[in-house]
Amino acid sequence: MRFTVPGDDRPTMLQLRPLLARRIRRRQLREFVAGLVRTPGLPTTWAQAAPLLRPVLRGAAPGAPLRRTAMPFLSEFVVVDQPDTMTYVTPAQLSVWGVSADRVFATARGNLSGAVLAGVASGPVVVRFVDDGDAYWTSHLLLPGWLDRLAEQVGGVPVAFAPERGTLLVTADGSEHLPGLFMQAEEIYARSARALSPMAYVSDDQGCTIPYPAPAGHPLHHLVGRAERLLAVREYSRQAAESPEPLAPLVLRADGRAGWRTRAVWAVDARALLPEADEVQLGERVVPWDAVAPHLKAAEDLDPVRWRGKGWPPLTGGG
């Protein structure tokens, strides 16, 4: 059976024969189907699958695919890349192939080219990588040390934007191009059906990709803060649209003193699960997150994380 996931260019295929042949338990079969209802078409052996694996960076994916946290609101998934389909790997598929999750992730990363550009920039420039369907440029941010290797090509410490799945923008930290790239990335992110993130990213001391740090007083503090919060609002909104449980909304607000802030709007009875925010609206009252956090506990199995009240009187209508 073929399915095309919203935002993807190629169809994916559901195939149950490998699992049925191994006589797996009914519960395992249900988990496999739940994870793949809107995807698959997987090779039956590890030897066939291994060279086709690629890592992908996503905010969310259909069903319940194999995943691990990569950056705030973004996770690393693994897909099987075939000529006509791209299929997410699920935890249930690991038993079919007889391999561990760590091996799947490592193999997928190892299949990326890790390519860099030739030549040296005479000054800070903007490099735009556009994916032709096979390059997986945004996935290269998952490779330790890869971003740092672009320093000579962009004329300084590389700062990357991945506003949508097929576009990677890189320039040098401190360059005149950087503020404008925040706005360009946000525009691409807002209009793309394959939006990924409006945030900026750099390498840490170990070469791992992390969000661009811009503490209070940094010239880009407000731009970084807006991008972080735009991503949070979009991912929490997508989560709410797909959940059968009541989830409190998260909205973005402009604050003249603090820049951009997120506000969670919580019903008086507090039954809706709460997104993490800068502030929380309780009826007509607005309180900072720190005032509410001690009275919350994390809900299980939600990513991004949501919170429920533990009986704090103002959240339940008490005194």
175 vs 34, more confident: 175
Residue 146, classed as helix, strand or coil, is coil
Do 308 and 246 belong together in one domain?
yes
Q: Please give the Cα distance from 32 to 302 (Å, whole number).
A: 19
Do 55 and 132 belong together in one domain?
no
Say if residue 122's pLDDT is above 70: yes
Q: Position 48: which residue type?
A: Q
Buried b (16+ CB within 10 A) or exposed e, 214-243: beeeeebebbbbbbbbbbbbbbbeebbeee
Tell me, what's the pLDDT at 7? 44
Is residue 116 domain-resident? no
244 vs 149, more confident: 149
Q: Backbone phi, then psi, for 230, in 5-degree steps?
A: -60, -45
Tell me, what's the pLDDT at 157? 96
Q: How does pLDDT run across 81-93, given as a tens digit for each residue? A: 988 888 899 999 9
133 vs 5, more confident: 133
Tell me, what's the pLDDT at 300? 86
Cα–Cα distances in Å, from 204 out to 147, 158, 168, 185, 253? 10, 11, 19, 22, 30
Do 98 and 132 belong together in one domain?
no
Tell me, what's the pLDDT at 36? 44
Q: What percent of the chain has pLDDT over 90?
A: 59
HSE-up of 47 (CA within 13 Å, CB side)? 0
Q: Which of 110, 142, 163 is the last residue of a domain?
A: 110
Is residue 220 domain-resident? no
Say if residue 24's pLDDT is above 60: no
Is residue 8 domain-resident? yes
Tell me, what's the pLDDT at 270? 59
Tell me, what's the pLDDT at 174? 93
Q: Look up residue 204 and give its two tokens.
A: 């840490």
Do 179 and 275 belong together in one domain?
no
How many domains does the chain contain in total? Answer: 3
Do 141 and 233 belong together in one domain?
no
CB 106 within 8 A of CB 50: no
Tell me, what's the pLDDT at 108? 97
Is residue 167 domain-resident? yes
Say if residue 162's pLDDT is above 60: yes
Tell me, what's the pLDDT at 42? 79
Cα–Cα distances in Å, from 302 out to 158, 274, 292? 33, 11, 19
312 vs 305, more confident: 305
Say if residue 135's pLDDT is above 80: yes
Tell me, what's the pLDDT at 192? 93
Q: How does pLDDT run across 42-52, given as a tens digit for each residue? A: 788 999 999 99
Residue 311's pLDDT band (cuts 50, 70, 90): low
Tell me, what's the pLDDT at 9? 57
Do 13 and 94 belong together in one domain?
yes
Q: Please give the Cα distance from 99 to 125 (Å, whole number).
A: 43
Alpha-helix residue ranges (DSSP H) falling in the chain: 17-21, 26-36, 46-49, 91-97, 101-110, 151-154, 178-191, 221-242, 289-292, 313-316
Do 163 and 252 belong together in one domain?
no
CB 65 within 8 A of CB 53: no
Is residue 119 domain-resident? no
Q: Please give the Cα distance from 293 to 163 (Å, whole number).
A: 31
Is residue 255 domain-resident? yes
Tell me, what's the pLDDT at 105? 98
Do 94 and 154 belong together in one domain?
no
Do 203 and 235 belong together in one domain?
no
pLDDT, mean of residues 94-102? 95
Buried b (16+ CB within 10 A) or exposed e, 16-37: eebbeeeebeeeeeebbbebbe
Is residue 249 domain-resident? yes
Q: How does pLDDT run across 165-175, given as a tens digit for each residue? A: 999 999 999 99
Tell me, what's the pLDDT at 121? 77
Tell me, what's the pLDDT at 40? 47
Q: How does pLDDT run across 210-264, given as a tens digit for each residue? A: 999 999 999 999 999 999 999 999 999 999 888 888 889 999 998 877 679 999 9
- Burial of residue 125 (CB within 10 Å: 0-12, 13-18, 19+) is middle
> Helices 178-191 and 221-242 sit at what angle, rounded to 10 degrees?
20
Residue 38's pLDDT band (cuts 50, 70, 90): very low
Do 158 and 249 belong together in one domain?
no
Range of the domain at 96: 2-110
Do 104 and 175 belong together in one domain?
no
CB 278 within 8 A of CB 288: yes
Tell me, what's the pLDDT at 91? 93
pLDDT, mean of residues 112-141? 83
pLDDT, mean of residues 254-278? 82
Q: Backbone phi, then psi, for 10, in 5-degree steps?
A: -120, 150
Mean pLDDT of the chain: 84
Alpha-helix residue ranges (DSSP H) falling in 145-294: 151-154, 178-191, 221-242, 289-292
CA angle (131 as vertex; 102, 119 as ends), nearest 5: 95
Estimate the share of the chain in helix, then strand, then coil, as percent rounded to the nearest 5.
Answer: 30, 25, 40
Is residue 291 domain-resident? yes
Q: How far apart are the first and last CA of the chain?
A: 57
Do 241 and 275 belong together in one domain?
yes
Q: Which of 85, 110, 135 is the last residue of a domain?
A: 110
CA angle (173 as vertex; 105, 223 as ends), nearest 5: 90
